[in-house]
Amino acid sequence: MATVAEPAIMEKTSYLFLKRLIDVIGAAVLLVIFAPLLVFVAAAIRLDSHGPAIYRQKRVGRFGKHFVMLKFRTMKVGTPTLSTAEMQQWLKAGGAANPYTRIGPILRKTNLDELPQLWNVLRGEMSFIGPRPALPSQEDVVNLRENLGVHSVRPGITGLAQVMGRDDLDVETKVNYDAQYCRELSFILDLSILFRTFGAVLSGRGNK
């Protein structure tokens, strides 16, 4: 049985091909351009705290398949793998006084921790624009996305829900934005989200 967004996605085959082409070229170019920055941030993380510079986390990708998403590590080794909302609850429950490394908050505030995901884009596991990939433990998000056909597209580094409020939004609202993105998928929409992402990053809106 087709889900809500799937018919719209099937009609966007030509744009999905163009979108993938842009992803491959863009990720390859940016990896080369940002290579010195990637090395610098990785070195800073290693000097700042014990543990690897890259944090590997299992996420739910296209068609519900799991993949390993890469990020620069912003938390101390041993911190549990939780969503932002779960992390807030864990901290309130006395999980840790401060789970972040010294430069972790800076990396998260500037979104520099997301740069390694350019490799995920190049590999075809992610796109520049798309619904943010959920953790397998976020069953409410995963199930709702599956019902609405959101898994028909590749997850993204940024997406419509992120520029509309990110973690300030409740689960249902975020997933509805994800479904809206799938229904209205276009080059103009992707370009709009890209530009609005810069504004969201600069303002720190929803970035907890």
Q: Which tokens is 196 given? A: 């609005």
The residue behind tokens 């976020």 is 138
pLDDT tens profile 122-138: 999 999 999 999 999 99
Q: Would you state the pLDDT for residue 82?
A: 63
Determine what percent of the chain is predicted with pLDDT higher than 90: 67
- For the chain, how long is the longest CA-to-CA vector? 52
Q: Would you state the pLDDT for residue 97?
A: 63
Predicted confidence (pLDDT) at residue 208 exceeds the cutoff of 50: no
Q: Give the chain's mean pLDDT.
A: 87
Q: What is the reported pTM?
A: 0.85
Q: Can you tell me the mean pLDDT for 165-173?
A: 84
Q: Would you state the pLDDT for residue 78?
A: 76
Number of H helices, E strands in the chain: 10, 4
- Using the Cα atoms of residue 61, residue 65, residue 70 and residue 73 in order, give the sign of their dihedral: positive
Instruction: Find the range with the poorest average confidence among 23-37, 54-68, 158-172, 192-206.
Output: 192-206
Confirm if 162 and 178 have CB atoms less than 8 A apart. Answer: no
Separation between Cα atoms, residue 178 and residue 101, nearest integer Å: 31
Q: Would you state the pLDDT for residue 206?
A: 46
pLDDT tens profile 9-67: 666 888 999 999 999 999 999 999 999 999 999 999 999 988 999 999 999 999 999 99
